Amino acid sequence: MMRRKGFTERFRSHHDAKRELRKLVGADRYASRAEPADLELTLDRVPRTEQRAVYLHVPYCDKLCSFCTMNRCRVDESLRSYAEELDETIAARSSRAYINATPFRAVYMGGGTPTVFAPAELEVVLSSVRSHLPLADDVEWTIETTLHNLTDEKLAFLVEYGVNRISIGVQTFSDRGRRLLGRSGSGEWAATRIGELREAFPGSLCIDLIYSYPDQSEDEVAADATAAIACGVDSVSLYSLMVHDGSALAARIGDGELRFERTTEWDRVRHNLLVTALRDGGFDLLELTKMARPGRDEYRYIRVRYLNGDVLPIGQGAGGRLGDLELHYSRAGLMIGRADSRHDRYHLFLGDLQFGRYDAGVARARLGDEAALRVEHALPEYEAAGYLRRGASGALELTPDGVFWGNTLAVDLLGRIIEGNGAARPAPSEERTV
């Protein structure tokens, strides 16, 4: 990203921003390697923080989305044994000092599609978490799902065992868009099913929407926002389509079967339509990629991560952190590195920026007076460029453009603080294909 000449690259996700932060501080995630013995020692110690969560990964789907390259595979005969494997892993860990020291504030079951388990298998996993792990009385327990996998029987198990947050990969209500992205069922069916879940589920009901997929019209964007509001969901995650190498969609584009050329401006228009429509429909900005009805979604799991908290990883494909150890269970085996204190220090402020907290006082509390001074110099520039505006309380808040460029702004601001390069001149990039 070039300074002083405007932004030449948009960082779409917090993963992009974290990668750039590592570059700024010269922190390689696994440069300082650790050994399995270090993990065993950590599990025998009291944790350093009460900000703790569990991440449980289920790398199975019954249908692979055209855009996805996450750690997942098609359902096969190994699914049942995987439920038993998770149960055994959780039970084996349950006696360790680290596990029992203090309750976990959040549980996140991701994938893949955790609800691809048959009801009996799903109950094994849910029961194991509830029986073997100390959970806070007000634990936030999230499970990812697709609509066609979440039957009424499975939903009853979720409620019984205490799951109180469901994240549904809707992606779009457009029939054409759903076919393109590999979703099951029509948009009308999806909206009807979400309405049924809303009636039956008392917790936070959250959906994902993808914008800027090939040939998506502005009418399709507006219809997605209208449907999300009408369904009564509590929060909506907004993701610009990322075409990853190795995905079915990338293959179609690469072969010339599907034409996909978009500019930053084309992407911005669709993003801002969604953000504005959801705000008009009663949603506020919760996080750069999430709009929520006030008080209906805390998203505690991601808050724990932004606070450099501990995340206990369980299952193939799971990643997390215990103390100063960063962990990832890949197909090749367990990778263990040591967290970098330089990264941790600035990552706290990056977390604040993810929630739209552009405030010199926040920077001072996290990083000291010099950082606050650099933020004070930057904020008027961001406001003049149209990324920030004064809200009703007088505090600065992100405009739709500011949300769109939010991760880029965060990297720019952290660069000023870390490198001391002075003022950049924030401006959208030139019209280009992305």
Residue 255, exposed/middle/buried by CB under 10 A (0-12, 13-18, 19+)? exposed
The CATH number of the structural domain formed by 36-304 is 3.80.30.20
Instruction: Write down the domain spans for the chain.
Output: 1-28+341-434, 36-304
User: Of the candidates 62, 181, 174, which has an alpha carbon nearest to the alpha carbon of residue 118?
Assistant: 62
Q: In what helix (H) or strand (E) does residue 171 lie, and over which residues does it extend?
A: strand 165-171
Segment (H or E) for 25: helix 14-25
Q: What is the pTM of this model?
A: 0.91
Beta strands in 273-332 (DSSP E): 284-287, 290-292, 310-314, 319-322, 325-330
pLDDT at position 425 is 41
Per-block average pLDDT, block size 10, for the chain (434 residues)?
58 92 81 87 93 95 61 62 95 95 97 92 96 97 96 96 97 95 94 97 97 95 98 97 77 80 92 98 97 97 96 96 93 89 93 96 96 96 95 91 97 93 46 47
Q: What is d(CA 381, CA 173) in angstroms, rounded to the nearest whole number? A: 38
pLDDT for the residue 2: 34
Q: How far apart are CA 303 and CA 309, in angstroms?
A: 8
Helix (H, G, I), strand (E, B) or coil at 219: helix
According to the model, what pLDDT value does residue 8 have?
78
- CA-CA distance, 135 to 107, in Å (whole number)? 8
Q: Which residues contact 45 (CB under 8 A, 6 or more apart)?
A: 97, 98, 323
* Per-residue confidence (pLDDT) for residue 234, from 0 to 100: 98
Which pLDDT value is given to residue 243?
A: 77
